[in-house]
Amino acid sequence: MGEVVRLHGDLPTIARYHGSIHPDTDRDLAAMVVDRAMTLAGRHSGELAARWRRLHPDWREVIDACLAAVILEDAGAQDAATGRFVGPVLDDGRGRYLIVEPLGHGSGGRAYEATDRAVGGDGPGGRVAVKLIPIGTGSLEEPLAEAGWARRLTSEAVTRVLDAGTVDPPLARMLWAHGRAVFIVQEFIEGLPLHVWKAAHPDASAKVRAGIVAAIGHAIDACRSAGVAHGDLSPANVLVDAGGRARLVDFGRAGAIPSVPPDDPPSSDDERLGQLAEWLDSETGRGRPRMPRTTRGRLAASAAVVAAAASATWFLGIVLPGRETTGEAGLSAETETRPRAGMPTDPVRWMESVLRDGLPPGEGGPDLQRQADAWSALAEEQARAGSSKAETELCAAIAALACGERARATHHANDAISAAGGAGDGGTARHASIARLVANLARFFAPGGEDAPPGYAASLEKYALTVGAPGLLRLPVLAERLAANTSAEEPRRFRSEGGGKVFDARSGMTVDIPGYDGK
């Protein structure tokens, strides 16, 4: 379903069902529509939610609950490439590009946001997109041809290729069964895939839509001038930035334009462009189909099953079996982790202390960094031996988070979730729950993280209390961003201006409501 929507169709939208589903009386159906859209939007769910809050303020409670559930569930998605290095080796013995987080998947490979450590560090200039492509037993030339085709193009409507090469066999084996893969580095484009953009902008004017189609047309013209056929024009391969400018990405299926007589039919790129223009201009996201009550009743029953299995239960304050906290018990006291240079003498006590109270007074600086490096080295050692332990990975994730290392904390948190996945005891389930919390804190509140939805810190605080880890929210490196998020509240729709004058935030108008007292 996700692949069909990504390549060919529309996300479910509130605009489509606004006339037939009410967010209060049809709460299950409303949640099902929003949850499915957020899930399909993936890493762009926050931007979609922000747009929908403004367009549909009466759905805000449903939007916020579904977004929180999707974000938390997304933190449990394991990806062995996060926190790894690819590219030419720099002076510290590691590759030039540090993989930060997944962006999605494209033609035959996986795409990631990465940091170019040679030019920009964590700043905007250092953000790049890295695509990893498995090659199995085939030749290197075919997957690297994508970089070659894209490098022929100079149009501003096409993403630029910056670098390419082979992936180290150990990392390739972690991602795929074989040990051969290549990487392609492209400029990082901050924008929404076209199918998500359309769902987020049902009110976009015909002029804006026409501008997007024209930009894609310019990109196809640039390809044709360079003798290149893109071969995979789809909504997922067009990114639209905040200013409405569109860029064509992913040349994984590109090739040379075959030599044909001029009177032959148009190329597949031209045909696909026409289909895409027709789809973008359609009213699919803005229609208001009526739904018979009997159908809505059956769907409500299905929605109840979906809701029962969703990870939103923590958002409602429910403690799941296996996630109950029992004071400080819950992490195994009979750990096989042995202290080594740089680690605390009692690793279990140290971790429980951090989970409960945060870092001990005076702990930090170079000593904490050495401890984080030691935990990370031990976790990598166990992973290479095929004996990863959830407890070790969790300690490494917590130490990296305390140092503000977003990518490394996410990497070890995901590995902790993976290592804990096969066991059913309460302690191991707690490992996974705490690791999800670490992944969320790293994603949104570590230095260089994304902007969290307003008030999201309060939701995480509730979750931290549920799993017995409130100390993680007291780590100094997170304090500023957590405080800013906690205090960030969107304005109420109505505000009393005294004397019966009321300001309506949705329309921007002041209206007369005699006797209105602000309540």
β strands within 408-507, DSSP E: 494-498, 501-504
Shortest CA distance to 401 belongs to which of 382, 389, 383, 414? 414
* Stated length of the chain: 519
Which domains does the chain carry?
1-77 (no CATH), 85-188 (3.30.200.20), 193-286 (1.10.510.10), 347-487 (1.25.40), 491-519 (no CATH)
Is pLDDT at 262 greater than 60 in this prediction? Answer: no
The pLDDT score that the predictor gives to residue 163 is 85
| Sheet of strand 509-512: strand arrangement | 494-498, 501-504, 509-512
Is pLDDT at 286 greater than 70 in this prediction? Answer: no
Shortest CA distance to 229 belongs to which of 260, 191, 268? 268
Residue 486 pLDDT grade (very low, low, confident, very high; cuts 50, 70, 90) = confident
In the block, tokens 């044909």 appear at: 260
Query: 17-21, 352-356, 512-516 — which is least confidently predicted?
Result: 512-516
Read off the pLDDT of each residue in 363-386 and give the average, rounded to a whole number.
Answer: 84
* The pair of three-digit structure tokens given for residue 143, joined into one six-digit string: 């997957």
DSSP state letters, 98-112: EEEEEEEE-SSSEEE
Each residue's pLDDT tens digit, 189-236 = 888 999 899 999 988 888 999 999 999 998 888 888 878 777 778 888
Is pLDDT at 265 greater than 90 in this prediction? Answer: no
With beta carbons less than 8 A apart as the criterion, state whether 184 and 133 touch. Answer: yes
Is pLDDT at 290 greater than 60 in this prediction? Answer: no
Buried b / exposed e along 12-37 (16+ C-beta atoms within 10 A):
bbbbbbbebbebeebbbbbbbbbbbb
**In the chain, what percentage of residues exceed pLDDT 70?**
72
Each residue's pLDDT tens digit, 3-54 = 666 556 788 889 888 888 899 888 888 988 898 888 888 888 888 988 898 8
Cα angle 312, 314, 316; round to 5: 80
Each residue's pLDDT tens digit, 72-96 = 666 545 567 888 899 999 888 889 9
Q: Strands 95-105, 110-116: parallel, antiparallel or unpaired by DSSP?
A: antiparallel
The pLDDT score that the predictor gives to residue 306 is 32
In the block, tokens 């904390």 appear at: 409
Read off the pLDDT of each residue in 246-252 and give the average, rounded to a whole number.
Answer: 80
Classified as helix, coil or strand, 387 is: coil
Residues 325 and 305: their CA atoms lie apart, in Å, by: 27
Read off the pLDDT of each residue in 391-407 and give the average, rounded to a whole number.
Answer: 91
The pLDDT score that the predictor gives to residue 97 is 92
Shortest CA distance to 157 belongs to which of 48, 241, 228, 255? 241
Q: What are the angstrom distances between the C-alpha of 88 and each of 120, 151, 164?
A: 16, 19, 10
